[in-house]
Chains A and B, each alone.
Chain A
Amino acid sequence: MSGEMLQTLLVGLVVLAALFYVGRRAWRTVLAGRASRDGGGCGDDCGCGH
């Protein structure tokens, strides 16, 4: 495998992981909105401290 291909593969994996994380965060935020009032703040890792 050439160096350029390896770079492309690595970049592709990193970008996919970032996309997955962003998607999961968005989904969790939606779930936090649906949760009961007794629940926490905005969901995991939203950065607001809740």
Chain B
Amino acid sequence: MDVAEAGAIPATHAPSPAPVRGGGLLHVALVGNPNTGKSTLFNALTGMRQRVGNYSGVTVERVEGRYRDADGHPVSVLDLPGTYSLSASSPDEEIALSVLLGRAQGVARPDVVVVVADAQNLERNLFLASQVLELGLPTVIALNQVDAALAAGIRVDAIELTLELGAPVVATVATKGEGLELLKRAVAKAVGLPPAGRRFELEPEAARAVAPLEACLVRGGLNPDAAGMEALRLLAVTQIGPHLAHVEGLAAAVEAARAAVEAAGITARSLEAEARYGWIAGVVERTATQTHTGKKTLTDRIDAVALHRVWGPLLFIVLMALVFQSIFSWAAPLMDRVEALFNALGGAVGSILPPGDLRSLVVDGVIGGVGSVLVFLPQIVILFLFIGILEDTGYMARAAFIMDRFMRSVGLHGRSFIPLLSGYACAVPGVMSTRTIEAPKDRLATIMVLPLMSCSARIPIYTLLIGAFIPPVAVAGIFNLQGMTLLAMYLLGTLTALAMAAVFKKTLLKGRARPMIMELPPYRIPSPRSLAMSVGHRASLFLRRAGTVILSLTIVLWALATYPKSHAAPGTPPAAAQEEQLAHSLLGRMGHAIEPAVRPLGYDWKIGVGIVSSFAAREVFVATMGTIYGVGSADETTPALRDRLKAERHERTGLPVYTPLVAVGLMVFYVYAMMCMSTMAVVVRETGGGRKGMAWAGFQFAYMLALAYGAAFLVYRGGLALGFH
């Protein structure tokens, strides 16, 4: 569909230019239902790279960007979390409502609101739009995804819709950048326009019953339009919400209004929904046409398999297996090249610098430590490429649907799946995205188990150990054991997260499971640009982390492994002298002190030091191993870390330190252990902050460490008892 044809504001309907803007920055807020392409529109307007996905709940906090309009004026755009209504029943909806009412701390009330509405689901999207129109703010409707709507046989008359809503409607296709200039122009012209206000009339009895409540809200400082919207909303919700806490006598006024509405023979809870949807049905009938119906779309045909009770979960498992296998088979040649690059770099630097501490710092510490983490960049890229494809096609929403059955069986809300899914990338945004969960106990249970999902920081550890100790033998013809082992680690974390959630929901956080209502978006072909952005973003985060936190910790660890110096007796072989130096160093002494605690798991002091150092961040384990074996090696060449691990022998027995059993035990330890300062900080904040937040984060750390230690012990000791080694 041509955007101009679909809904550009014609000259006759365009609002007149705004006379005032205060000479400064124009503040625009983007609101809309989840998965309407709101963040895509935000990125297209501002040139930013805010995360987008073909499923709901991707944006959970407000994000700000800027653009310049046609006249060169700066415009600030605030991307608010997606919400179906302004009922403010979950933390992310609260954020949206507080911003729109000008009650969010440190955020100016927007000058213009852009409601992003999905043209394919006009009826549902207009519910939120009708609420926003009553807030007393100039509003523009961005009718997005008009191309997909047309493909589905839905044609929306944007001019007619403009007249119905009393606010300009601009058709857009955010993914293709269509309609953006018109939207920017409409935003610029909307400033100073009178607000649209309520577009429907309540039954006279209902209007009379609600009037005192509206008056109470006006006395509390709300403008009359917003008071009308809030009054209807308050009749339906159970909690008033923090943004209205300052209004005196509000609770009593709400109760009185409910009683008066009920006395008039109207159900108070459904008054708003019935009034709005009654009006919306008429608007949709007058403005939208459905040209063909009843025909099965491609999405319907794919979903017949993807959502099938038997085939659906099977397809999910097969897809995941293929993803994890490809991480090994595709990444191996790339990884070898990166490894060769670092070896060459180490050799070159080693030949330039004279022997001494500086050379050791650069070659053994920096290149050996950081380089051993950076070789896993190909795996990270491949994993996020697949995750991006699954998200952008819309399959992840189906995965959430399939998982909902399991989620409910353990007492978790279906909405918990998206935060848990985010945990595969990083637990921090996952914990933040639990804000979409309304029930506090469900939210807390989700936060408590979320770090059990294997994040990308575990990939270097898993792939290092699997690459070194799990043979690449074929499984069932098409899979290989290395990929299956990686899949097993991910499944172990996921299943344990569900099991722990069940435990929490039956003990500390009792409560019944709630059903999930989730929109299944149509399948789309992923945009290469969006995929490249998402993968590039993840790769740059990995590189930045390697170049900052990991680099710094590696340097500190190198110093601890190098000082104080030991003086080997003359004639001591270089390898023995290096080993003696390592044992004599601060790191060696610390390692030997903690060795008794890790020995039951089959680990030596070096692994113990790696575990302790990775409390800051998991990848530091690999960097620590790279540094320790770099410092401890008399070899001038730098063999791959996995070869060094294979060659490592116990000092006393001469037996290999790393066996497949130790490697599996160590991976299991990292599946469960909470080794991430950043996640702990976010858990403190999201569970209430202060002592309460610290207590929850402390509890989480303790139970996960106990789980990690216990599971690693069971794997090692159980394996030995069964004759494995």
Identify the A interface with B (CB < 8 A): 3-4, 7-8, 10-11, 14-15, 18-19, 21-22, 25-26, 29-30, 32-43, 45-50
A25 to B603, CA, bound (A): 30
| B466 contacts partner chain A, Cβ-Cβ < 8 Å | no
Asked if B548 is an interface residue, CB under 8 A from chain A, the answer is yes
Q: Which residues on B are within 8 Å of A, measured CB to CB?
A: 51, 61-62, 91, 95, 104-106, 354, 356-358, 361, 425-429, 432, 435, 537-538, 541-542, 544-545, 548-549, 551-553, 555-556, 558-559, 616-617, 677-682, 684-686, 689-690, 693, 697
Residue in B closest to A20 when the chains form the complex, CB atoms: B552
Query: How far does the alpha carbon of A30 sit from the alpha carbon of B677 in the complex, in Å?
Result: 9
Asked if A42 contacts B556 (CB within 8 A), the reply is no
CA distance A37 to B106 in the complex (A): 13
Which residue of chain B lies nearest to A10 when distances are taken between CB atoms in the complex?
Answer: B358
* C-alpha gap A34/B685 in the complex (Å): 6
Closest to B562 in A: A11
User: Are B679 and A42 in contact, with the CB atoms below 8 A?
Assistant: yes
- State A15–B316 Cα separation when bound (angstroms): 48
Q: Is the CB of A43 within 8 A of B559?
A: no
The main secondary structure of chain B at its interface with chain A is helix
A45 touching B549 in the complex, CB below 8 Å, given contacts A33-B689, A38-B61: yes
A7 to B558, CA, bound (A): 15
Rounded to whole angstroms, the CA-CA distance of A26 and B678 in the bound complex is: 9
> CA separation between A35 and B679, bound complex, in Å?
14
Whole-angstrom CA separation of A46 from B307 in the bound complex: 37
Q: A18-B551, A18-B555, A35-B685 are in contact. Are A47 and B542 (CB under 8 A)?
A: yes
Chain B residues with CB below 8 A from A15, complex form: 361, 555-556, 558-559
Residue of B nearest to A49 (CB): B541
**Complex contact A49–B678 (CB within 8 A):** no
Main SS class of interface, A: helix
Let me know if B681 and A42 touch, CB within 8 A: yes
For A11, give its contact among B357, B549, B677 (CB under 8 Å).
B357
Q: How far is the CB of A7 from chain B (nearest CB, A)?
A: 4
In-complex Cβ contact of B682 among A25, A38, A42, A49 (8 A): A42
Contacts of A19 in B (CB 8 A): 552, 556
Q: Is the CB of B357 within 8 A of A3?
A: no
Contact of A41 among B429, B549, B616, B617 (CB under 8 A): B429
Is the Cβ of A11 less than 8 Å from the Cβ of B537?
A: no
Q: A4-B356, A7-B356, A38-B61 are in contact. Are A21 and B548 (CB under 8 A)?
A: yes
Partner of B680, one of A8, A25, A33, A49: A33
- Among all A-B residue pairs, the 10 with the closest Cβ atoms: A47-B545, A42-B678, A48-B428, A33-B681, A18-B555, A33-B684, A46-B678, A7-B358, A18-B552, A48-B426
Known contacts A32-B682, A33-B689; is-contact A49 B555 (Cβ 8 Å): no
CB contacts (< 8 Å) of A8 on chain B: these are: 357
CA distance A21 to B537 in the complex (A): 23
The answer to whether A33 touches B693, judged by C-beta atoms less than 8 angstroms apart, is yes
Cα distance A39–B95 in the bound complex, in angstroms: 11
Q: Which residue of A10, A11, A22, A48 has the most chain B CB atoms within 10 A of its CB atom?
A: A48
Q: Is the CB of B681 within 8 A of A29?
A: yes
Q: Chain A residue with minimal CB distance to B107? A: A38
Among A10, A39, A47, point to the contact of B544 (Cβ < 8 A).
A47
**Could you tell me the distance between the alpha carbons of A23 and B664 in the complex, rounded to whole angstroms?**
33
Chain A positions within 8 Å of B51 at CB level: 49
**A33 adjacent to B61 (CB under 8 Å):** no
Task: Choose from A4, A7, A18, A43 the contact partner of B681 (Cβ within 8 Å).
Answer: A43
